[in-house]
Amino acid sequence: MVQTLPQPAKLKSGVLRIIPLGGIGEIGRNMTVFEIDGKILIVDCGVLFPEEHQPGVDVILPDFGYLRDRLDDIIGIVLTHGHEDHIGGVPYLLRLKEDIPLVGSALTLAFVEAKLKEHRITPYTLTVAEGQREKFEGFDLEFIAVNHSIPDALAVMIRTKAGSVLHTGDFKMDQIPLDGRLTDLRAFARIGEEGLDLFMCDSTNADVPGFTPLEKDIGPVLEDVIGRAKKRVIVASFSSHVHRVQQVLDAAATHGRKVALVGRSMVRNMQIAENMGYLTVPDGLLIDLKHAANLEHDQVVYMSTGSQGEPMAVLARMANLEHDIEIGVGDTVILASSLIPGNENAVYRVIDGLTKLGANVIHKGNAKVHVSGHAAAGELLYCYNILKPKNVMPVHGEYRHLIANAKLAELTGVPSERIIVGEDGWVTDMVHGKAEVVGAVECGLLYVDGKTVGKITEDDLKDRRTLAQEGFISIFVVIDPLTGRVKVGPEIRARAFAEADHVFDDVLPQIERALAEAAAEGIRDPYAMQQIIRRTIGTWVNRAHRRRPMIIPVVIAE
């Protein structure tokens, strides 16, 4: 439900203002601004991956517009964990001001520092761990261990004079985690006893009943699939999913296979994880890609990126026969990840392409090769009952996830009027433990296209979609500037219109007649002539061919 809200009033002293700039109503680009007494704290700064209706876009950022004139007021960016939808936007924000401090766990900061190195940015960082408290201007932060599909994830408790906020980041409550690191429910209980004013809770799996399955159940399935495979095995996952990579390494070692990491981000992240002790690699197990090509097919496992069907990622290139690894009959491909909403078509295209090449494709739909990293409804109910928050703001999810999370909160006794299901850009003020929506700030999508950031508009994307779906027609005309008479043309060329140029023979007389009438009326302006040509050919194409191509008339007066 889209609502138009006014601009918020100036923030009063002692009031905490909360503005999500991404992650509300979408899976990705998570970013929330907290402001009190002129100081700003940011939690997460991630990216959103584009969908099919956004051609040419690399990633989508949170809208930094609200912050551009407030950069000196930012006292830090807290990063809850190292996934791209939480850290991927950091380099673009630090381009605006490089010395904004980054706060996060050791692995999270290591991942983001590696990204920043590619952007030639050396950040100021503060490494924190669970149980640690740090005070910033106006903010008292406590970091709490949470279990997720990446090690070292943290929730953050934000205490201010206006009230307290617990922001979970992404989390679940796996009771037998692979790394032994549980979500700290004792800390949650302590916060509940202290009194929690606002709970900002991960909503991604709020509409999934029960509890998220255990990560440890995936290992035996991977071992079985890899053990039965007769030829090459390719496993695709997120490049930051350390736990899943560890399970693949273990399964490969059990069956005497070597492992080659494929994809720049996969190689980079796993080297960081190994160096920091988060990934255990048996001696001699990892080999480089060139060495793997010399092994028999039943002696190697490739661990790659591309589980979301990204066009330029390794797996999609394999499916399109554009990679050095050529998938063949009898090869096994395992997609060890969940589908991010919006990526379904791309993923199924890759699955179809791999199947057509003869591969046996294993995915979450036909085998238990992945479990989610997000808490399901049963786990969220536990949290609400433990914390007993006064106010709730569901975050990190599409609208249906937010609504499902809100209903869970209401079931546990949170009054409906104290539950804020908002949108990106909505402004919530909190004082004396009461949270209330007070307006909205402009908050759009910031597109990254190559080296261009924020210059691509919705109109540009509309033009790209038109070119892709309807084609392109150009019309060239030279007119006499004194008489308006046509001297050269009209010459028509079409691209991606699926018609030969001669089909335009019927419309040429109409264009000539329209231009002659314009000249008779004293019209000499080339721009006005262009509009006449566009209207004429546009009407004809629509009636004759039921098409709406991009039409570019060029009128030169000489």
Confidence at residue 462, expressed as pLDDT on a 0 to 100 scale: 64
CA 107 to CA 20: how far, in whole Å?
25
Give, in words, the CATH class of 16-210+372-453.
Answer: alpha beta
Tell me which residue of 273, 307, 272, 303 sits closest to 286, measured CA to CA: 303
In this structure, which amino acid lies at residue 183? T
Task: Copy the structure tokens of residue 31.
Answer: 């970013």
User: Is 391 within 8 Å of 430 (Cβ atoms)?
Assistant: yes
Strands laid side by side in the 39-43 sheet: 125-127, 102-104, 74-78, 39-43, 31-36, 16-22, 426-431, 434-440
Confidence at residue 550, expressed as pLDDT on a 0 to 100 scale: 76
Strands laid side by side in the 446-449 sheet: 59-61, 446-449, 452-453
Task: Copy the structure tokens of residue 76.
Answer: 């830090």
CA 532 to CA 551: how far, in whole Å?
12
User: Is 222 within 8 Å of 247 (Cβ atoms)?
Assistant: yes
Tell me which residue of 387, 391, 428 sits closest to 406, measured CA to CA: 391
> What's the sign of the alpha-carbon dihedral 137, 140, 422, 373?
positive
Confidence at residue 106, expressed as pLDDT on a 0 to 100 scale: 96
pLDDT along the chain (558 residues), means of 10: 78 96 91 96 89 65 92 96 93 94 96 92 95 94 96 97 96 92 96 97 95 91 91 88 92 94 90 94 90 89 76 75 85 81 73 88 82 94 97 95 97 96 95 93 79 64 60 76 71 68 74 76 76 80 75 77
CATH-assigned architecture of domain 215-362? 3-Layer(aba) Sandwich (3.40)
Strand partners, 24: 397
Say how many C-beta atoms besides its own lie within 10 A of residue 509's C-beta.
Answer: 10
Fold of the 471-557 domain? Ubiquitin-like (UB roll) (3.10.20)
Say how many C-beta atoms besides its own lie within 10 A of residue 130's C-beta.
Answer: 17
CA 414 to CA 104: how far, in whole Å?
31
Confidence at residue 1, expressed as pLDDT on a 0 to 100 scale: 44
- In whole angstroms, what separates CA 455 from the centre of its chain? 19
Locate the domains of the chain by residue range: 16-210+372-453, 215-362, 471-557
Tell me which residue of 263, 258, 328 sits closest to 300, measured CA to CA: 258
Q: How far is CA 304 from CA 59, 273, 277, 535, in A?
A: 20, 16, 21, 51
Q: Does the bond joining 490 to the residue before it have cis omega, within 30 degrees of 0?
A: yes
Confidence at residue 501, expressed as pLDDT on a 0 to 100 scale: 62
Residue recorded with tokens 């699939």: 225
Residue recorded with tokens 């219109």: 497
Q: Please give the full DSSP string across 444-490, using - where no structure is assigned.
A: --EEEETTEES---HHHHHHHHHHHHH-EEEEEEEE-TTT--EEEEE
Which residues have a Cβ under 8 Å from the Cβ of 228 and sit 6 or more positions away? none
Helix axes 264-275, 106-118, angle to 10 degrees: 140
The pTM is what? Answer: 0.82
Strand partners, 452: 449
Tell me which residue of 509, 528, 507 sits closest to 519, measured CA to CA: 528
User: Is 47 within 8 Å of 89 (Cβ atoms)?
Assistant: yes
Tell me which residue of 170, 168, 165 sits closest to 151, measured CA to CA: 170
User: Is 86 within 8 Å of 79 (Cβ atoms)?
Assistant: yes
Confidence at residue 240, expressed as pLDDT on a 0 to 100 scale: 85
Phi, psi values for residue 102, rounded to 5°: -105, 135
